[in-house]
Amino acid sequence: MNVLVVDDQISVLSGILSGVHFQELGIDEVRSATSAEEALAVFREIPIDIMLTDIEMPGENGLELNRAVQAQYPETLRILLTSHAEFRYAQESIKLGCFDYLLQPAPYEVIEECLRRALQQLYQQRKRERLQQYGQLLETNETELMNHVVTKLFSRIPEDVDSSLEFLNQMGYAIHKDKLVQVVIINVQSFRASNEPAYSEKSIHKAISNALKQAGMIYPVLKLSTVNRFRQFVLVLFSATNEELSFTPEQYEAFFEKLCLELPSEVLNCYVGKWVRFTDMRDEMKVIHQYIDENISNTAGIYLTSGEGISAAVSTNLAESAERWKTLVAGGQKRILEYEIEEFLKDTEKKSKNKFRALCELHQQLTHIFLGFLYENNADMSDLFNAEYTYTDYMDSFKDIDSLRKGVAFMLNAVEKIHKNNMPKSDVEKAKSFIVNNMANPITVKDVADHVNLSAEYFTKLFKRETGQNIKEYIALLKVSAAKEMLEHSSLSVGMIALELGYSYFSHFTQVFKKYENMTPSEYRSKHTGS
């Protein structure tokens, strides 16, 4: 782009040439003239994109110069400068089809803003002209064509990249290999998952453009967009000038908020990469996709690869937990398992940086525990899974937290069924299973005796003879053991643990616990956890 500045006053002309930041606006060449005659000579030498001219000049004035330029060089945008705030000048400039009319002395920032708007109009105008050159077919299928061209920018094949760059520059996008660019990827969840999305690709592209505009991320911001093979909308942002663009976190947040308003029925995730050179764009894409993989909860929001909005790394001792869960599965402790695995999932989602890998490792450990238990108990896999929930569904449940929650719930129900089907035949073993399965209830000796269809007196003697333990002490010790497990490995209050184990009164639970451990539940937790 080039500009011609015309003014007969050397001081005014010099002030504009030195005070206006032409290069930052993306203007490559600035010419000057002190008369209409000199200005027309410049036009005969080179095509001028924008002419900035004073009206009051000796001889052929600015209005006459504008008439001549309008007739001979209609593609040039013309901006008039005058020190007279008379309506006739403004009226005449409108008649001549001038782009704008500025009163002198105009602040340099006002002139820059006017030039910025003029450049934007020229860019849009020339884009339309180029589209017309490619014919009606291109104009009709611009979205599809641009998807193809932009996708090739990320190709591993240099020839594909070069051909796309050449095409885009022909289309009016001033982008080259040294240009600084920013990649933004937008997940539209329902669009990605549904065969019949609420919004078409074209409407989503339009929504993105509107959101950028409403967030103030407009010229000199230029964008290219496409839809990748993962059905994610990919934006490449760059500057129409040679200056690096910089947006505040507030602008990104505003863009995301506006986009959510444009697509109210969709769940959106927006991932914003760092500003990098075009040649490093593929590497930055890999970084962004790593962040996408780590967002295992698919939580809606905007994420920056600079680290804002992404959780820090905190390790979790999975191996230790897995050993305990194996014991709990074997013992049929479903409720404790549900609680502990859920707490582990929440901790993983909150603290682990590499969430996807952490989720894979958790799924692997749980699969080893569950399938090992099923194998040991000769469970028929064909009876376990069905059309509603298949073996494949479970094996794929590592992909996100909600899927894994569903898989864990299914497996725990299967484990519970196997425990019920494998109830021991002896009365004492039946009684033990009954006690384990009813840990959350206030169990009496009569309750257990009734379950095995024996009198309380006879059952008490039978249990003592076969186990060497008093039935009341057995129940109490089992509950104390479960309490110790929860005190060490859960964040439940002592009162909640008492209720979980069927104690209606906190004092009774404390009394029983102290009898066998010689300390209160709170003292035990403090000793074993340091809290």
Rounded Cα–Cα distance for residues 101 and 103 (Å)? 7
Here the tokens at position 513 are 């616990």
Q: What phi and psi, each to the nearest 5 degrees, are found at residue 277? A: -70, 150
Q: Which residue has the tokens 């549900």?
A: 338
C-alpha of 397 from chain center: 21
**Higher confidence at residue 94 or residue 159?**
159
- Who contacts 530 (Cβ-Cβ below 8 Å, separation ≥6)? none
The structure's pTM equals 0.41
Please report which helix (H) or strand (E) contains residue 346, including its range.
Answer: helix 334-351
For the cut 80, the answer to whether the pLDDT of residue 136 exceeds it is: no
Q: What's the pLDDT tens digit per position in 178-234?
A: 888 999 999 876 554 444 456 778 888 888 989 998 888 887 888 888 887 777 899
Q: What's the pLDDT tens digit per position in 312-349?
A: 233 346 777 888 888 888 888 888 888 888 888 888 77
Average pLDDT over residues 482-507: 87
Here the tokens at position 454 are 């024996």
Residue 397 near residue 403, CB atoms below 8 Å: yes
Residue 20 near residue 112, CB atoms below 8 Å: yes
Which pLDDT value is given to residue 430? 85
C-alpha of 448 from chain center: 54
What DSSP character marks residue 248? Answer: -
Which is nearest to 360 in space by CA: 373, 348, 370? 348
Rounded Cα–Cα distance for residues 204 and 210 (Å)? 10
Q: Which residue has the tokens 């990748």?
A: 228
**Higher confidence at residue 87 or residue 236?**
236
Q: Which residue has the tokens 């497990």?
A: 485
- Give the burial string for 499-528 (b: 16+ CB within 10 Å, else e): ebbebeeeeebbebbeeeeeeebeebbeee
Which pLDDT value is given to residue 135? 45
Average pLDDT over residues 28-51: 92
Which pLDDT value is given to residue 248? 82
Q: How far is CA 38 from CA 5, 6, 73, in A?
A: 11, 9, 15
Average pLDDT over residues 231-253: 82
Rounded Cα–Cα distance for residues 19 and 426 (Å)? 99
Please report which helix (H) or strand (E) contains residue 308, including its range.
Answer: none
Q: List beta partners, residue 193.
A: none
Which pLDDT value is given to residue 89? 61
Question: What does the chain come to in residues?
Answer: 531
Here the tokens at position 118 are 């003029």
Which pLDDT value is given to residue 388? 86
Please report which helix (H) or strand (E) contains residue 194, including its range.
Answer: none
Is the four-CA dihedral 142, 148, 153, 158 of positive or negative sign?
negative
**Higher confidence at residue 20 or residue 241?**
20
> In sequence order, what DSSP letters do the residues of 63-117 get, joined into one string?
HHHHHHHHHH-TTSEEEEEES---HHHHHHHHHTT-SEEEESSPPHHHHHHHHHH
For the cut 70, the answer to whether the pLDDT of residue 143 exceeds it is: no
For the cut 50, the answer to whether the pLDDT of residue 374 exceeds it is: yes
Which is nearest to 235 in space by CA: 262, 214, 209, 263? 209
| Least-confidence region, from 280-284, 313-317, 498-502 | 313-317
For the cut 70, the answer to whether the pLDDT of residue 399 exceeds it is: yes
| Least-confidence region, from 307-321, 363-377, 388-402 | 307-321
Confidence label for 26 from pLDDT (cuts 50, 70 and 90): confident
Which pLDDT value is given to residue 194? 46
Rounded Cα–Cα distance for residues 243 and 24 (Å)? 6
Rounded Cα–Cα distance for residues 259 and 246 (Å)? 20
